[in-house]
Structure 1
Amino acid sequence: MKGIEGKTALVTGAANGIGAAIARRLYTEGAKLILVDWNQEQLAQTAQQFDVQRVMTLKVDVSDPQQVETMVAEGVNRFGQLDILVNNAGVHIPGSVLETSVEDWKKISGVDIDGVVYCSKFALPELLKTKGCIVNTASVSGLGGDWGAAFYCAAKGAVVNLTRAMALDHGEAGVRINAVCPSLVKTNMTNGWPQEVRDKFNERIALGRAAEPEEVASVVTFLVSDDASFLTGVNLPVDGGATTSDGQPKIV
């Protein structure tokens, strides 16, 4: 895709799943990578796929603003600039408000929304210099509610509207900010779900299957490319048609 080669991309939650797929795709398109995760061992394994001249890894807890500020500074010091930020780090703890704890909320909100705020806040001064872009990994759970995922839905809903607000604030300065909203994706976590749970998801997805991480990565890559130069403030469902339904059951 146009306009990615030679640029520097920072990807959080890059150790596995969607984040690792995004890293691979951006690397293939010619980007230099700052890969971030709190799982240093898995992150190192992912980074082995890449030329050491074009990648650096950092163990970072994105819920800690001091760590995030240092992360951005170290990345810019290594590669000289920052062009792309992908806020992909996320956690999910199921349960209703009554079933989950205050500590569960702090963990989910700390990573899923505070982390997006902190990474964006400290990256934006650099992105303004390069007229760069941000892509947030939100979720269809931020576009509508789910049973048994109150805290996750709240955090992802915040990411959805934060994406819109930041796009308004920084568009005239040349920084584009969008989000992808996946439904079920084949990752280490979801592959361990009982088959009957995955079957229920597939019944609600028009394409009848979960996404591969690479399919989400392709959309992220499009959004950070020059091919998407007039897209900003978009929360794009990457959901196989799950959100096309009005919620009524399939009867035929």
Structure 2
Amino acid sequence: MGRLKGKVAIVTGASGGIGRAITREFLEEECVVIGFNYVSSAESTHEGLYYEYVVDITDRVAVEGAVKDVINKFGRVDILINNAGITKDNLIYRMSYEEWDSVINTNLTGAFNMIKATIREIVKNEGVIINISSVVGLEGNIGQANYAASKAGLIGLTKSLAKEFGRKNVRANAIAPGFIETPMTEKLPEDIKKAALEKISMKRFGKPEEVAKLVKFLVLDGTYINGQVIVIDGGMEL
């Protein structure tokens, strides 16, 4: 029997590389997983354990309505994984306001919207919140001011959540992946990938499953870990 059997987790961006791996890890634990995706995916129902909502997480009203429906249908929410994220890279002097706003609204405000809509239920169930940040949120990166700001904001949000709700036995942690083999990194030019590999002591990109296993550890076994940022980057020099 999975230790998460009977629990309900919401995973944003569940159809992406890391999100899909997290979903599968939780399904192996017999957890009910609710995927909040911007567009519909081809993910199967996994014997009645996976359900999908097509939701724009930047739309507060849509998020609140979807979360209420989840609670009505499944009776609870125990775990929130804020994984959804986008990039619109550009140097600051070329970056448009739309490129700034869309990344901040999806990566940071979207996470806030999800937390705001679920927090009472998570507190009631002494649940867990995991925010997927990035090493870029810790170190910054050329051409990614919007993405770095959004991921740094997630770290500040995580630490504030831990302080506010730790007394309620709710844990909030952030994970900061480095280069992971996802559709997002596949789009990178080959010279960028090569330069990145030279900075990674393990000389390879991480796998989505490695991030997902860390998420599961923090949910299941990291019962005294709160307000932390866990870097998973293969030993990368920035």
TM range (shorter): over 0.9
- Separation (CA, whole Å) in 2 of partners of 1:162 and 1:2: 30
Q: Take 1:157 and 1:168, find their aligned partners in 2: how far apart are those partners?
A: 17
Q: What displacement does 1:55 show?
A: 2.1
Segments of 5+ residues of structure 2 without an aligned counterpart are: none
CA distance in 1, matches of 2:186, 2:86: 16
Tell me by how many angstroms 1:49 deviates. Answer: 5.8
Mapped to 1, the partners of 2:30 and 2:195 lie a distance apart of: 39
The whole-number CA distance in structure 1 between the counterparts of 2:5 and 2:199 is 38
For 1:7-26, what aligned pairs fall within 5 Å after superposition?
7-26=7-26
Distance (Å, rounded) in 1 between the aligned partners of 2:45 and 2:21? 11
2:99 aligns with 104
Pair 1:136-2:115 in alignment? no
Calculate percent identity across the aligned residue pairs: 34
What SS is found at the alignment partner of 1:6? coil
Q: Which moved more, 1:82-91 or 1:196-205?
A: 196-205
Cα distance in 2 between the residues matched to 1:5 and 1:204: 40
- Greater shift in the superposed pair: 182-191 or 121-130: 182-191
Give the number of equivalent residue pairs. Answer: 238
Distance 1:235 1:2 in 2: 26
Cα deviation code 1:217-251 (max 9, x no counterpart): 110111111x1100010111011111xx3x5xxxx
Q: Is the 8 A contact 2:4 2:31 kept in 1?
A: yes
- 1:217-236 matched pairs, under 5 angstroms: 217-225=212-220, 227-236=221-230
8 Å contact kept, 2:2–2:30: no
CA–CA distance in structure 1, aligned partners of residues 194 and 5 of structure 2: 40
TM-score w.r.t. structure 2 length? 0.96
What SS class does the counterpart of residue 228 from structure 1 fall into? coil
Give, in whole Å, the separation in 1 of the partners of 2:12 and 2:134: 16
RMSD: 1.4
Partner of residue 166, structure 2 = 171
Unaligned runs of 5+ in 1: 248-252
**One-letter amino acid of the structure 1 residue matched with residue 4 of structure 2:** I
Look up the match of 2:46: 50
